[in-house]
Amino acid sequence: MKGTLKRLLLMGAPRRFLSIAVLVLADAVAMLAGLAAASYATEGSIGRPFSLAPVLLAVWISIFAAYDLYNRARVRRNPGALVGAGLVWAGLLVVGERLYPQSGLTAGMVLLAAFLSLAVAGALRVLYEQAIELLYRRGLGKIPTIIIGDEAERTRVRRLMEQTSGAYACVAEVDLGAGEVDLPALRATLDSTGARSVVLVGGERLPDEELLDLLRSVRLRGVRMRVVPGALTLMRSQPTVSQSLGLPLVEVRYPRLDNTQRLMKRALDVTVSGAGLVILSPLFLTLGLFVRTSSSGPILFRQKRAGVDEEVFVCLMFRSMYEHAELRQPELEELNEGGGAAFKIRDDPRVTPFGRFLRRWSLDELPQLVNVLKGDMSLVGPRPLPLRDFERMGELHKRRLAAVPGMTGLWQISGRSNLPFEEMVRLDLFYIENWSLSFDVKIILRTLGAVLRREGAY
């Protein structure tokens, strides 16, 4: 039984999901307890203000997610993020109380609720950390880790992992070649093992660009990277040192992937996609009914696409083609009008009559709000391409995968399918190099006009 539990806890995705679920539950309990106590202390009851609990709880969880507070390592590095998230929640509620006085909330109640909720949330998180440490001491719940280095270095680190009761468990090893790391092999290993941490030994042998490519690839997948000291002169971020392995480990971060604006971008994605799925649910049901009755086949079309850092995910769309249309693509290759690696036909015979309507108004892409909510996609970013297109791209073209793919982007507001493939890549790279939150908002607003004008939609 213990062996089975250990194998389950070493699996990256289930372990991470369980950790997030526990923290979300703890934060929900903390907020509800704080709100109930504050309401009773100021009003003598928990009646009318507590009726808003579902909405207040959704805002609370969304803000905590935007602050990356369901990432345990971030909370330990920066406990002030917990306080900051609580203050943002309180500030939004104070504004809401002014705009909607019928809510029954008062400024005093909100501030007291925030204080109490943060106190309870902090206490529950401390208890959670103690429980995790207890599991570590018993050899359970360790972080699945990949070791990168030459054979002797990997052996030394692996033995230290096995001899100590720290938080790491080696699940795979990747050889550090002559000044380079085989990134495709590393990505495949990350996907197959579900590893959540990478330890690099001998990083001083890597050129700057190779190290930055490795950092970007690891961090884009939400995996933390630590190096054994010796490569400090190459580090371009503020390091933190850990002794949990029995030797110093320096955590490094790709400098352009860790900033407040990206947290705000994720908050925007979660808020808009969540609200969109709720508000547009009647439209989803209507379109789904028409797709199902207009032609045989499933309502949703699920296609594997290349996402950030070449990570494959399943992209969701309303089905706009006849069933098994992908099997006919090889015979239509000679009619391809996309140019470059892209495949596009203006009058594609595989598209159903209702599918043409969906594409004309970009309605077929609405289910991608689910991808945005999951984190596979963002509202704004480079367009994710099917695996067929990805496999035909050159290395320069693959640089567009340095950002989370989006439902819309510069390509969509600049002509969409009317633009050649090389122009799409150029626009994507320009977006990545000049990204900002205000840039995203501008693209979203311009997308609405492009959809209404039906530019390049076919």
Q: Return the bridge partners of 304, or none.
A: 314
Domain that residue 272 falls in: 260-453
Residue 184 lies in a domain: yes
d(CA 278, CA 58): 13
DSSP letters, 200-215, are ESSGGGS-HHHHHHHH
Q: Return the bridge partners of 318, or none.
A: 300
d(CA 97, CA 110): 9
184 pLDDT above the threshold of 60: yes
Return phi, psi of residue 360, to 5°: -60, -35
Other beta carbons less than 10 A from residue 279's beta carbon: 9
For the ranges 97-111, 186-200, 346-360, 382-396, which has the lowest average pLDDT?
97-111
Confidence of residue 234 (pLDDT cuts 50, 70, 90): very low
Mention every residue, 6+ apart, whose C-beta is less than 8 A from residue 419: 411, 427, 456
Contact between 143 and 196 under an 8 Å Cβ cutoff? The reply is yes
Return phi, psi of residue 202, to 5°: 85, 25
Place of tokens 């969701």: 316
DSSP letters, 346-409, are TT-TTB-HHHHHHHHTTGGGTTHHHHHHHTS-EEESSPPEEHHHHHT--TTGGGGGGS--EEE-
Residues 96 and 158 in one domain: no
Give 217's Cβ-side CA count (13 Å radius): 22
Residues 250 and 336 in one domain: no
Residue 354 lies in a domain: yes
Question: 224, 254, 284 — which closes off a domain?
Answer: 254
- The pLDDT value recorded for residue 2 is 41
Residues 372 and 412 in one domain: yes
| 3-class DSSP assignment, residue 256 | helix
Residues 233 and 351 in one domain: no
For the ranges 102-111, 160-169, 255-264, 284-293, which has the lowest average pLDDT?
255-264
Give 108's Cβ-side CA count (13 Å radius): 5
Sign of CA dihedral 174, 178, 179, 183: negative
Residue 133 lies in a domain: yes
- The pLDDT value recorded for residue 137 is 63
Confidence of residue 91 (pLDDT cuts 50, 70, 90): confident
| 3-class DSSP assignment, residue 150 | coil
- The pLDDT value recorded for residue 456 is 53
Residue 202 lies in a domain: yes
Q: What is the rounded radius of gyration, in angstroms, for the C-alpha atoms of the chain? A: 25
Residue 112 lies in a domain: yes
Contact between 182 and 208 under an 8 Å Cβ cutoff? The reply is no
Return phi, psi of residue 168, to 5°: -110, 145
Place of tokens 């290759």: 333
pLDDT per residue as tens digits for the range 281-317: 999 999 999 999 999 999 999 999 999 888 899 999 9
Task: Decide: residue 2, CB within 10 A, 0-12 exposed, 13-18 middle, 19+ buried.
Answer: exposed
CA angle 429, 431, 434 (to 5 degrees): 110
Residues 166 and 209 in one domain: yes
Residues 124 and 159 in one domain: no
* pLDDT average, residue stretch 29-41: 88
219 pLDDT above the threshold of 90: no
Closest CA to 362 of 405, 413, 312: 413
| 3-class DSSP assignment, residue 1 | coil
| 3-class DSSP assignment, residue 43 | helix
Q: Which secondary structure element, helix H or strand E, spans residue 321, and what is its range? A: none
d(CA 167, CA 164): 9
319 pLDDT above the threshold of 50: yes
Residues 369 and 313 in one domain: yes
Confidence of residue 414 (pLDDT cuts 50, 70, 90): confident
9 pLDDT above the threshold of 70: no
Give 398's Cβ-side CA count (13 Å radius): 14
For the ranges 155-164, 246-255, 325-334, 428-437, which has the lowest average pLDDT?
246-255
Other beta carbons less than 10 A from residue 51's beta carbon: 11
Residues 230 and 92 in one domain: no
For the ranges 29-33, 161-165, 326-330, 391-395, which has the lowest average pLDDT?
161-165
Residues 444 and 321 in one domain: yes
CA 418 to chain centre: 30
For the ranges 163-167, 309-313, 344-348, 383-387, which has the lowest average pLDDT?
163-167
The encoded tokens of residue 304 equal: 């594997």
Residue 234 lies in a domain: yes
Residues 222 and 306 in one domain: no
- The pLDDT value recorded for residue 231 is 44
* pLDDT average, residue stretch 198-222: 81
What percent of the chain has pLDDT above 70?
Answer: 80
For the ranges 101-105, 219-223, 239-243, 386-390, which has the lowest average pLDDT?
239-243
Residue 347 lies in a domain: yes
* pLDDT average, residue stretch 192-200: 86
d(CA 265, CA 258): 12
For the ranges 44-53, 202-211, 428-437, which has the lowest average pLDDT?
44-53
- The pLDDT value recorded for residue 417 is 62
Question: 83, 104, 137 — which closes off a domain?
Answer: 137
Residues 130 and 223 in one domain: no
Residue 458 lies in a domain: no
Q: What is the CATH number of the domain that holds 243?
A: 3.40.50.720
Domain count, the chain: 3
Give 211's Cβ-side CA count (13 Å radius): 23
Confidence of residue 277 (pLDDT cuts 50, 70, 90): very high
Q: Return the bridge partners of 174, or none.
A: 148
| 3-class DSSP assignment, residue 49 | helix
d(CA 457, CA 360): 5
Residues 226 and 268 in one domain: no
- The pLDDT value recorded for residue 254 is 59
